Amino acid sequence: MLYVDVILPLPLADSYTYSVPPQWENAVKRGFRVVVQLGVKKMYTGVVLEVHDRKPAVEAVKPILELLDLQPIVSDSQLKFWQWVAEYYICSLGEVYKAALPSGLKLESESVVMLAEDVPDGKCDALTDRERRVLDALSEKGEEKITALGKMCGVKNILPVVNALLAKGLIVVNEALRRDYKPKTEVWVRVADGIDADKTGIVLASLTRSKSQQKAFAVLAGKGEMLRSELMEEAEVASPIVKALCDKRLAVQYVKEKGRLDGLFGNGEQENTLRPLSAAQQKAYDEVVGLWADKDVTLLHGVTSSGKTEVYIHLIEKYLSEGKQVLYLLPEIALTTQITDRLRRVFGGRMGVYHSKFSDAERVEVYQKQVSASPYSLVLGVRSSVFLPFSNLGLIIIDEEHEASYKQQDPAPRYNARSAAMVLARMYGAKTLLGTATPSFESYHNAQNGRYGYVSLTQRYNDMQLPEIEVVDIKRLRKQKRMVGALSPVLVDAMREALARKEQVILFQNRRGFSSFVECRTCGWVPRCEHCDVSLTYHKGASRLNCHYCGSTYPLPERCPNCEEEKLMHVGVGTERVEDQIKEVFPDVRTLRMDLDTARTRAAYERIIDDFAEHRADVLIGTQMVTKGLDFDNVSIVGVLDADTMLNLPDFRSYERAFHTLSQVAGRAGRKNYKGRVVLQTRSADSDIISQVVANDYTAMFSAQMEERKMFSYPPYCRLIYVYMRHRDNDVLEHLSLDMANALITVFGTERILGPAQPPVGRVQSMFIRKIIVKMEYGTSVQKVREALVCIQKRIQSLAYANGLTIYYDVDPV
């Protein structure tokens, strides 16, 4: 008998073994999806990891319930990559699987509620109002999913009601397989069989009594087959006319599957050819290709607006012409909006796009196309694109490689797409290009010591000049009471001049919402989240207080609950407040705001970027979304409203990140014919990092910070692993974290362990948190470190008082 080891989309340590029914023994293979039962009722879609004939030691082995594929949906190369991700980032294969495949490819059962048969008399007499509403709804529907039943009845927390009705024997709960993905379809109409050109005239003559049917058939006969909607529009008829032709057997109506991707990435035609490279770009291109003879990874260090994207395009064309596939990674969805149009004009239908702002159905179809016989040659996407199937990968381009957005934070796997992509490329024998104006310390260090190839592109395209950066000391201006809200007089004057010339302005404020928090003027009371140790951010548009950690919302109190003071003070400035201040100073100016509140969907991103690019707005206000590679020709002024929010973070990377962000946002300023201007507002005007940004002196910043990193043994001189522990009881967690730290010290040594310590936000979603830092020298066996950590974790979680403890790891945190 055959058996399969199956990966389930759950945080389980191992795969599970199931038997293969005889009808599928010759069909099932590694990488196929199968539906299996776990526990008493629940059904999941698993991925076959191995097919074998070794009978497990257990008495009864459950069979697989359904075989979903005719060919593997996950290749051997992908499974090998999944295993590397699980091992390196210390998580389960199930967690990798859950992240790797779109939800529509992971069928899962959902609880379905129905009325019980033969309900005894008197059972329905003593029901609550909520219970009766649920029974009435089931009487009408017959059966319904639990989630939908709650909405239908208007019952918010329906599980206790369902449990009560179950206990009374009035309902039955079963599991039904939920299929989220459905192919998109269209209705077509064609001329019925047997009606050829010679018989068309006879048919038209027979329809003289119905001019509408006659006209519709004439249009259809002229084309043979048509979309029903197009036939109705062209013949100017309604659907009953088309139905009447079908009833008379003169036409046939049928359903055709239509891919959601049709036209999504262009019409498949290339609109233009490659642009010629400038002399500097051609030199960089040649150096990159030359270095790949010996190096698998090359860093392209090019200043902003140097034309790195054009170099990428020529490299893509080189690999596509050789029959290879290319993966082009970007850190932010916002960037894909602009770059998609640029690449589509060159590569047409050979390119696909993949990111989370697409619907799940669209992502399913991109994934399915990649396992088909005609996959996309070029895929543009964000970090999750590394999990797509590739058959002949030749090149991975990681643009803005320094970006922290490449790191997945929650949930597991907490992978860095930059590192994972380099491993993926190595598995395929492909090359990797890292591109940025401000390299990460790790990449630059590897380039300096010869591990990576290094190419510098210091000349801006068309000899554009770097922007002039003017530092404004807002601490002094606030003392002099000369600030206009968050705007300095220097920035206001610069904006006024630019707007008078019909130019555009970008303002960067790294906080969303209206104010950072609300405070009582009299007693100092600050509203805080009930579930997290953070103050609440005020959002004026929704008139709510929001927790940016757990998502909880609260109404703005009319008065202080502590002292009854009616006036509450708004402290701090967010993007909403900046927008209000701009409208006060420049009443006629058109503004756009781009932050997580305004750009939650793909359409919202695209609308904001298109509106600003087409000059339907004069000022764009945003968070870090506006700093990352966006290209607007008409922007002459960039304002950084408060640089200190990045400089004062309690993190060894804060200066590195600040330099990256400030340099990137400065690069948004400047037009083709003259130098742009950046107004950088700060309370730390004398700081070294500010002078390094002004001088665009990456080398000086890198050298100074590397001395500190080496002194205190931080990356890139060692590898970090953060061990996080969570528990609802703070005292219990304190003891368990000390036990964990002592166990780690015993194995790894005192000098490699820091903590336990409470992070800046010590409670999130009612769970208290402790963090332990493990430092490991490069060259240490990842497998041995993982084995030691997992062994210690099991020992700590087996303690009598450790019930409810959660432990997880963040490898190579950023």
Closest CA to 622 of 744, 515, 513: 513
* Number of domain units in the chain: 7
272 assigned to some structural domain:
no
CA neighbor of 338 nearest in space, from 633, 106, 19 = 633
Residue 693 has pLDDT above 60, yes or no: yes
CA nearest to 637, candidates 597, 662, 599, 666:
666
Which pLDDT score is estimated for 122?
Answer: 56
pLDDT at 427 over 80: yes
Shared domain for 501 and 555, answered yes or no, is no
CA-to-CA distance for 229 and 171, rounded, in angstroms?
44
Does 446 share its domain with 313? yes
- 355 and 438 both lie in a single domain: yes
Structure-block tokens of residue 216? 């519709």
State mean pLDDT over 700-725: 94
CA torsion sign, 737 to 738 to 740 to 745?
A: positive
CATH number for position 754: 3.30.70.600
For the cut 80, the answer to whether the pLDDT of residue 512 exceeds it is yes
Determine what percent of the chain is predicted with pLDDT higher than 70: 94
Residue 536 domain-assigned (yes or no): yes
What is the predicted pLDDT for the residue at 268? Answer: 47
Domain match, 332 and 472 both: no
In a domain, 602, yes or no: yes
* In a shared domain, residues 544 and 594: no
Provide the token pair at 782: 């990842």
Residue 670 has pLDDT above 90, yes or no: no
Mean pLDDT of 260-274: 57
Task: Give the mean pLDDT of the chain.
Answer: 88
Q: Where residue 181 falls among pLDDT bands split at 50, 70, 90? A: low
Instruction: Quick: pLDDT tens for 238-265.
Output: 999 999 999 999 999 998 877 666 555 5
**What does the alpha-carbon distance between residue 42 and residue 64 come to, in Å, rounded to a whole number?**
13
* Overall average pLDDT of the 277-289 stretch: 95
- The per-residue pLDDT for 634 is 87
Question: In this model, does residue 781 exceed pLDDT 60?
Answer: yes
Direct distance between the N- and C-terminal alpha carbons of the chain, in angstroms, rounded to an integer: 48
Are 781 and 689 in the same domain? no
In Å, how far from its chain's centre is CA 26? 39
Indicate the residue among 76, 107, 138 that finishes a domain: 107
Question: Does 363 lie in the same domain as 350?
Answer: yes
441: in domain: yes
Q: Examine residue 186 and state whether it is found in any structural domain, yes or no.
A: no
Q: 543 and 434, same structural domain?
A: no
Confidence band, pLDDT 50/70/90 cuts, at residue 310: very high
DSSP reduced 3-state for 711: helix
Is 745 part of any domain? Answer: yes
327 and 424 both lie in a single domain: yes
Residues 202 and 241 in one domain: yes
Q: Residue 266: inside a domain, yes or no?
A: no
> In the listed set 707, 731, 763, which residue is the last one of a domain according to the structure?
707
Percent of the chain with pLDDT over 90: 59
CA distance 523 to 564: 10
Q: What is the pLDDT of residues 24-81, one digit of tens each?
A: 999 999 999 999 988 877 888 999 999 999 988 887 899 998 898 889 999 999 999 9
Taking CA 765 as the corner, what is the angle to CA 762 and CA 768, rounded to the nearest 5 degrees? Answer: 35
Q: How far is CA 458 from CA 66, 280, 281, in A?
A: 58, 8, 10
- Sign of the alpha-carbon torsion through 663, 664, 667, 668: negative
Hey, how many other C-beta atoms are within 10 angstroms of the C-beta on 162? 19
Range of the domain at 41: 3-107
Q: Does 367 map to a domain?
A: yes
- Nearest Cα to Cα of residue 639 among 461, 514, 467, 459: 467
pLDDT at 810: 97
- CA–CA separation, 442 vs 706, rounded Å? 10
List, for residues 86-119, the tens digit of each pLDDT value.
999 999 999 999 999 988 888 776 677 888 776 6
- Residue 135's identity, in one-letter code, is L
